[in-house]
Amino acid sequence: MDTVQHPSATWEAVSNGIVFYRRQQLYTLPGKLPNIADYLIAGCKNGGPIALMRDTSKMVALGRGGPAFTKSQIQVYSPAGEGLLLFSWDQSRIVRFGWTFDERLVVLNEEGVYRLYDLQGDYQQFSVGSEEAELGIIDARIHENGLVALTGSLTLLEVKDWEGGRPLALANPGISEPPHSWAVIPPDQSISRHVEVLLSVDATILTVDNLESTDQRVARGPFLRVSPSPNGKFLALLTSAGLLWVVSSDFQRELVVLDTATVGAEGPVNQVEWCGNDAVLVTWKDLASLILPSRDNIAGETLRYLYFGATFVVTETDGARVMGQDVCDFIQKVPVSSVSIFRPGSTSSSAILFAAWESFVQRSPKADENIRSIRSDLAAAVNECIDAAGHEWDPHWQRKLLSAAKFGWGFLDLYNPTDFIAMGQALKVLNAVRYYEIGIPLTYSEYQYVSPAHLINRLTSRNLHLLAIRVSSFLSLKPDVVLKHWASVKIARSKSSAVDGEDDEVCRLIVDKFEKLGGGEVSYADIARRAWEVGRTGLATKLLDHETRASDQVPLLLTMKEDNLALVKAVDSGDTDLVYHVLLHLYKRLPLGSFFKLIEDGGDQLAPASKLLQVYARELNREMLRDFYYSDDRRVESATLALDEAAQMTDPHAVMTAVNAAEKFFSEDKDRPFEAKMMNESVRLLALQQQYEKDSDGKIKFFGQSVSETIRTCISNNMSKKADRVKSEFKVPDKRFWYLKLHALTAMRDFDALDAFARSKRSPIGYEAFVRHLVETGHLKQAALYVMRCDGPKRVGLYVLCEDWRAAGRECKERGDKKGMEQLRKSCPNSLIARELDQLMASMK
């Protein structure tokens, strides 16, 4: 005989036996919780903890030697009654506290300061703003992803997310006194996807969002309780006369109107909360009443649950968690799959499959008969058994339902067991975290909603690292998050006892664990940052040595001000962008001298960084490059930079200043006397060019030209004396000067001046240069005039070059060169010249 209670034993039927509700006892809490009637309580959804703070508005009897409540204390308990956290509040009066989606406790005070506590007691502190602090916060509503605060001026402020951002002002509700009650519909549950605030004002409800305030024009108020359903589609409102009104959130559809006095409870209503999205749970002392809509009666249907003492209800997406003094229950609508299988007299295919499996276990032939009767619906029956297993809390019935599903799919030709395997894994994880020592009574629906990764984060926040690692491994998830949290806790706990050698020991433990469980893929950078934050710089540096990704190493080293090591790591990575990131960061943060000294002291190891810095500075920051060369005593580079800048300048004075600077730098280097002399001559030339420009009233441009160009310009502009002065001052060789003057006069086509120049004295370059240059420039006749001044053996060839064949022939005749004449005869361009050459040849002896 099966001694385990049948699942339907705790069911209670409503809606004529079509719908069932059940109360599942999760934990017994004898003496674990204080008297919750004396406390303000905030519950975290998805099987999360509850936070309690003494209600100062209630009288507390203290015996002799009793504790003196000088400070506000907040205690956090798991649903199983295990203490998780206790801390004192050292700020001004607490206005409201509540929970975020990731199980952080938000505590808001009247000055607008709010803190986010994790389950280890560490917190982040933010403020809603200085202006709001002056007005004061009189009330607030906290949801999983933000809060809405009611200020002293009766305006509403919304804080989105939990990153400390600036609050947003909602539309002005235009009220003159605080509302009787109010509630918030979070953005992810509202139709507009913006937060909506419901204010009970006088007899009506005001709906306020970021754009407008709307009067819903209802007349049943004032309302002492306003409670939106988890999906935001319905509202439960309790009037001051004790009337419970359940209506759609747009106030168009009325579901329940019930006088709570008819329930038979004594005393005031404690809470009005939703049980999933289908029913409302109203609590009094010793009693919780579940109220459901009914097609036949506007007053709905009622289920009563008795408790000993006060209770606190936490609304869940698929039910309601009730915390009593000695018990923690979960009230929910029985899932359809469970009803289909376990409802007495059920003839559904899943119920028949379950019965067939039980018959098979008992070796009854009826099993085959049952299977045959549902053959066409067998796949659906298997799936329903798997789904029902997920909604059962008792492992005994979970195993039975999964066994029935496995039995059923054996008769199917094709079946994908993915859902079966996933359900088995999920149930193993859920049963582990539901254990009272863990105390996370998560339903299967909530597990699907929050995701396994979120559950692992919740386990690590409780320091349940071993279980979190096992769950990660079981679900084939990366253990990075768990290992990083474990390492952070390990560092934090060892910080107070840090002695010589402690860093090495902690580093070794962390590295061993990461290598063993993380496969060497876990980043050490985050752990190193944590070590640095708690003052363990040495440990942080040791951990970073094991980080393989330089892009993770370097930013933290910069934060730690390990400048040299950061630059070395960046250079070793070969990532030029990372090197530039470090260089620019250090350039902004360090004094210029310290920055350059850091690079210089690095020697060959930091040579690539030095080169990259020079490339960057040459393109974008010449001033920095100048300072860098000066600090490194690089005189030649400094001079080169000065000349490079001078080449890009247009102002004569600035150019001369830059060239003077270059001369100074070259003169300070004993190996560069020639360059220093050249710079000196450049300055003299520039000064002379300035003078020449001044003499010509700026009509002729000289500045910036070379010596040769200056001479050519002087000659081209009939400034022969100035050209001679340049030649003299800069010791221009005669040959170069003659070439320059030849080219200049030829370009001017001043052939008379060229002839006079050629006759002025014996040419140091000869006269063949005259001939050839004039030929190159197309002045053949003028070129022929200078052939006679050339050496005799070359004249024939030069005449040919000038295309003066007759003169070439005469030269051959005078020289008695018959062979040369014959060659001229063969190469002459036409017969007329050929006859003349023949005559000259005939006249030769």
Amino acid at 464: L
Task: Identify the DSSP state of 189.
Answer: G
Radius of gyration for the chain, computed over Cα atoms and rounded to the nearest angstrom: 49
Is residue 705 within 8 Å of residue 716, measured between CB atoms? no
Q: How many helices (H) and strands (E) does the chain have?
A: 33, 29
**Is the pTM value of this prediction over 0.85?**
no
Q: What is the reported pLDDT for 66?
A: 36
Name the band, by pLDDT with cuts 50, 70 and 90, for residue 62. Answer: low
Name the band, by pLDDT with cuts 50, 70 and 90, for residue 69. Answer: very low
Smallest Cα–Cα separation from 133: which of 149, 116, 110? 110
What tens digit of pLDDT does each residue of 14-41 get? 877 889 999 999 999 988 999 999 999 9
Which residue's structure tokens are 């022939």?
809
Name the band, by pLDDT with cuts 50, 70 and 90, for residue 496. Answer: very low
Q: Which of 407-411, 439-443, 787-791 has the least mean pLDDT?
A: 787-791
- Select the CATH number that applies to the domain covering 633-732 from these four: 3.30.1330.60, 1.10.540.10, 3.90.1150.10, 1.10.150.780: 1.10.150.780
Task: Give the H/E segment covering residue 577.
Answer: helix 576-589
Name the band, by pLDDT with cuts 50, 70 and 90, for residue 781. Answer: confident
Q: Over the chain, what is the mean pLDDT?
A: 86
Q: Say whether pLDDT at 820 is over 60.
A: yes
Task: Give the H/E segment covering residue 96.
Answer: strand 94-99
For residues 563-578, average pLDDT: 85
Is residue 101 within 8 Å of residue 145, measured between CB atoms? yes
The per-residue DSSP string of 742-795 comes to HHHHHHHT-HHHHHHHHHHS--TTTTHHHHHHHHHTT-HHHHHTTGGGS-HHHH
Task: Identify the DSSP state of 9.
Answer: G
Which residues make beta-bridge pairs with 108?
96, 114
Name the band, by pLDDT with cuts 50, 70 and 90, for residue 532. Answer: confident
Q: Which of 8-12, 284-288, 524-528, 646-650 has the least mean pLDDT?
A: 646-650
Name the band, by pLDDT with cuts 50, 70 and 90, for residue 398. Answer: very high
Name the band, by pLDDT with cuts 50, 70 and 90, for residue 439. Answer: very high
Name the band, by pLDDT with cuts 50, 70 and 90, for residue 810. Answer: confident
Which residues make beta-bridge pairs with 73?
88
Q: Say whether pLDDT at 492 is over 60.
A: yes
Q: Say whether pLDDT at 667 is over 80.
A: no
Is residue 256 within 8 Å of residue 280, measured between CB atoms? yes
Name the band, by pLDDT with cuts 50, 70 and 90, for residue 818. Answer: confident
Torsion-angle region of 634 (φ positive above 0: left; ψ -120 to 50: alpha; else: beta): beta
Name the band, by pLDDT with cuts 50, 70 and 90, for residue 436. Answer: very high
Distance CA 477, CA 54 (A): 41
What tens digit of pLDDT does each residue of 704-734 get? 778 888 888 888 888 888 888 888 888 888 8
Q: What is the reported pLDDT for 633?
A: 65
Q: Which of 257-261, 704-708, 744-748 has the least mean pLDDT?
A: 704-708
Name the band, by pLDDT with cuts 50, 70 and 90, for residue 1. Answer: very low
Smallest Cα–Cα separation from 564: which of 617, 607, 606, 611? 606
For residues 100-116, average pLDDT: 94
Which residues make beta-bridge pairs with 72?
89
Percentage of residues of the chain with pLDDT beyond 70: 95
Q: Say whether pLDDT at 71 is over 60.
A: no
The per-residue DSSP string of 383-420 comes to HHHHHHHHH--SHHHHHHHHHHHHHHHTT-SS--THHH
Is residue 795 within 8 Å of residue 813, measured between CB atoms? no
For residues 418-432, average pLDDT: 95
Q: C-alpha 492: how far from its chain's center?
A: 26
Higher pLDDT, 791 or 627: 791
Angle subtended at Cα 344 by Cα 343 and Cα 345, rounded to the nearest 5 degrees:
110
Residue 763 has φ and ψ, to the nearest 5°, of: -70, 125
What tens digit of pLDDT does each residue of 117-147 get? 999 999 999 998 867 667 889 999 999 999 9
Distance CA 769, CA 790 (A): 9
Query: Could you tell me whether strands 123-127 and 137-143 are parallel, antiparallel, or unpaired per DSSP bridges?
Result: unpaired
What tens digit of pLDDT does each residue of 334-368 get? 999 999 999 988 999 999 999 999 999 999 889 88
Task: Give the H/E segment covering residue 206.
Answer: strand 204-208
Is residue 513 within 8 Å of residue 486, measured between CB atoms? yes
Distance CA 739, CA 20 (A): 116
Q: Is 3 exposed, middle or buried (0-12, 13-18, 19+ CB in 10 A)?
A: exposed
Q: What is the reported pLDDT for 845?
A: 55
Which residue's structure tokens are 């943060």?
589
Distance CA 826, CA 828 (A): 6
Cβ within 8 Å of residue 99, ≥6 positions away: 42, 43, 44, 45, 48, 49, 51, 105, 106, 142, 144
Name the band, by pLDDT with cuts 50, 70 and 90, for residue 804. Answer: confident
Residue 841 has φ and ψ, to the nearest 5°, of: -65, -40
Task: Identify the DSSP state of 628.
Answer: H
Torsion-angle region of 726 (φ positive above 0: left; ψ -120 to 50: alpha; else: beta): alpha
Which residues make beta-bridge pairs with 198?
183, 207
Distance CA 161, CA 69 (A): 33
What tens digit of pLDDT does each residue of 605-636 get? 888 887 887 777 676 767 777 667 766 667 77
The helix-helix angle for 418-434 and 378-391 (nearest 10°) equals 10
For residues 471-483, average pLDDT: 92
Cβ within 8 Å of residue 13, ≥6 positions away: 19, 20
Retrieve residue 69's tokens.
Answer: 């409540």
State how far the alpha carbon of 438 is from the alpha carbons of 250, 267, 315, 776, in Å: 41, 36, 21, 102
Per-position b or e across 415-441, b if 16+ CB within 10 A of its CB: beeeebeebbebbebbebbbebebbbb
Is residue 241 within 8 Å of residue 197, measured between CB atoms? no
Higher pLDDT, 629 or 58: 58
Is residue 812 within 8 Å of residue 836, measured between CB atoms? no
Q: What is the reported pLDDT for 60?
A: 62
Smallest Cα–Cα separation from 223: which of 207, 208, 202? 202
Of these ranges, 104-118, 359-373, 528-542, 685-699, the one predicted with the greatest mean pLDDT is: 104-118
Q: Is 683 exposed, middle or buried (0-12, 13-18, 19+ CB in 10 A)?
A: middle
The per-residue DSSP string of 689-753 comes to HHHHHHHTTTSS--TT--HHHHHHHHHHTT-HHHHHHHHHHTT--HHHHHHHHHHHHHHHT-HHH
Name the band, by pLDDT with cuts 50, 70 and 90, for residue 555. Answer: confident
Q: What is the reported pLDDT for 359?
A: 92
For residue 79, cis peptide bond before it (omega within 30 degrees of 0): no
Of these ranges, 89-93, 389-393, 817-821, the one predicted with the greatest mean pLDDT is: 389-393
Helix boundaries (H) for 124-176: 130-135
Q: Is 575 exposed, middle or buried (0-12, 13-18, 19+ CB in 10 A)?
A: middle
**Which strands sit side by side in the sheet containing 287-292, from one edge to the other?**
271-275, 279-284, 287-292, 301-306
**Hey, where are the domains in the chain?**
478-548, 549-631, 633-732
